Structure 1
Amino acid sequence: MSGRSPGDDPKIRGPRDNTRISLSEPYEVQAWCQKLGVTERQLRDAVAAVGPLAANVARHLGKRL
């Protein structure tokens, strides 16, 4: 075993935690933009406005998860 958790696997290219939006990894930003149907700027602005909880961001953007 390599000591890595599944969330650390660099081959996984989607959000590691589907309840929180992380803006630190480009592939996570891209995945959330696709999931919510928004641009990166819209996603970043929404996270800045309401925090990283995905449900709050989706609600702020008028989207459903």
Structure 2
Amino acid sequence: MTDDKTKRDIRDRDRVAGDEEYEVGYFASKFGLTIPEVRELIKKHGNSRETLEREAERLGKR
């Protein structure tokens, strides 16, 4: 099922939907990661955007 973009609220912004290709792709391009790397981060750390951004920055500095 696709994400209904007409039904949004604040809670939608603090999570990364790992099953939505466009969200994973955007997150990957934002941090210079591959889609499999982003999926692994989500699998390992959950879908909290704050946590994922922190871990993506660490991964990018390696």
Query: Could you tell me the TM-score, scaled by structure 1's length?
Result: 0.61
Structure number with greater Rg is: 1
Task: Name the structure where helix makes up a greater proportion of residues.
Answer: 2
Determine whether 1:20 maps to 2:22.
Answer: no
State percent identity of aligned pairs: 25
Higher relative contact order (CA 8 A, sep 6+): 2
Deviation at 1:60, TM superposition (A): 1.4
Determine whether 1:8 maps to 2:4.
Answer: yes
Q: How many residues align structurally?
A: 51
Moved beyond 6 Å, runs of 4+: none
Cα RMSD (Å): 2.2
Unaligned runs of 5+ in 2: 7-11
